[in-house]
Structure 1
Amino acid sequence: MKQGQDLQQLIGYLAQRLQLIGERDAREALQPFGITPAKLTALLLVRDNPGCDQSALGRALSINRASTMRQVNILEERGLIERRPGRDARTNALYLTPFGEAQTAAMVGVVRECDRRLTSPLTTPEVESLRRLLVKLTTGKDRVRIRRKAAPS
């Protein structure tokens, strides 16, 4: 189906399309590991933030407590992460297991290949520019904040 001029001008639409294309490829590539792209994201966040608690992980994933608990339970059952006592009796600290570290490294390699395919029409400088701009839009002090104005009454 043809994308009209308006759709081709909407960054949010184009970002969503790119995400759908990339996730489809990553989902297929991760099937042998029995892991979804969302679960790999959780593993990477735990790897990069050893000892984080479930609440921090949920905030980073933008999911609610129940969904975070389900993700953590699944990853723990598969031997990829472990819970250890947290800073207080009410929290658990999350860590990758040695198996989780090895599997995560292997999955990152697979997903990097997906990224390479996704960006294959671009030159290396274009890929770096795109990555830099996406990071700028999604992280740190330059993070995009979406504010909705109250609907007129």
Structure 2
Amino acid sequence: MTDQRLDELTRARLGDLIGYHLRRASIHDLACFASALGDAIKPVPFTVLCLIDETPGITAAEIGREARLQRANLAPMLADFDARGLIERRPDREDHRIQRLHLSPEGAAAVAGWRARVVAQEERTFGALDPEERALLVRLLARVWRED
């Protein structure tokens, strides 16, 4: 099949599907993320560490709800962060069964460095969009996933 024929089929069928464009954008974004951070950290663990950074004292259950992660997937990730010295677990003041999560100083430094690299990569990736277009894209995408 020629590239022109494939382009015609894509425009005729896939080109009208929002999900197709979301997947293409997601694949592109993941490749850009990998380009920025290499093997340093993957997107989901980065998200979890950012949630801990932005919400000191968050619980694992709260992270699971916010990031839509199952406990079975989150628990080993948190154990890995703990073993690497990236997070600190502190007991809740009222219910000592609950552990509040905080970044360690090492974790805060790592997240700050990774975030700076991701922000720089996003500038390159989304540089064709002006600030208003970026804000609109974020609002529209958030409406889709928040209504889910």
The two structures have a TM-score, normalised by structure 2, of: 0.83
In structure 2, the CA distance between the partners of 1:62 and 1:77, relative to structure 1 (3 Å rule), is same
* 1:81–1:94 contact (8 Å) kept in structure 2: yes
Spell out the pairing of 1:89-104 with structure 2 (5 A cutoff). 89-104=96-111
Residue 86 (structure 2) aligns with: 80
1:23-64 alpha-carbon deviations (Å, 9 max, x no partner): 1211232126x2111111001111122111111111222121
Contact 1:81 1:95 in 2 (8 A): yes
Asked if residue 144 in structure 1 is aligned to residue 121 in structure 2, the reply is: no
Letter in 2 for 1:20: I
Q: Deviations over 1:80-122 (max 9, x none)?
A: 1111113423221110111111111111111112212221232
Does residue 15 (structure 1) correspond to residue 22 (structure 2)? The answer is: yes
> CA RMSD, aligned part only?
1.9
**Runs of 5+ unmatched residues, structure 1:** 146-153
For 2:3, the equivalent position in structure 1 comes to: none
Paired with 1:122 and 1:89, the residues of 2 have a C-alpha distance of 48
Report percent identity of matched pairs. 31
> Moved runs in structure 1, 4+ residues, more than 6 A?
none
Name the counterpart of 1:49.
55
Look up the equivalent residue of 2:123 and give its one-letter code.
R
* Aligned length, in residue pairs: 140
TM-score by length of 1: 0.80
The answer for unaligned runs of 5 or more in structure 2 is 1-5
Q: Distance in 2 between matches of 1:137 and 1:49?
A: 23
Name the structure with the higher helix share: 2
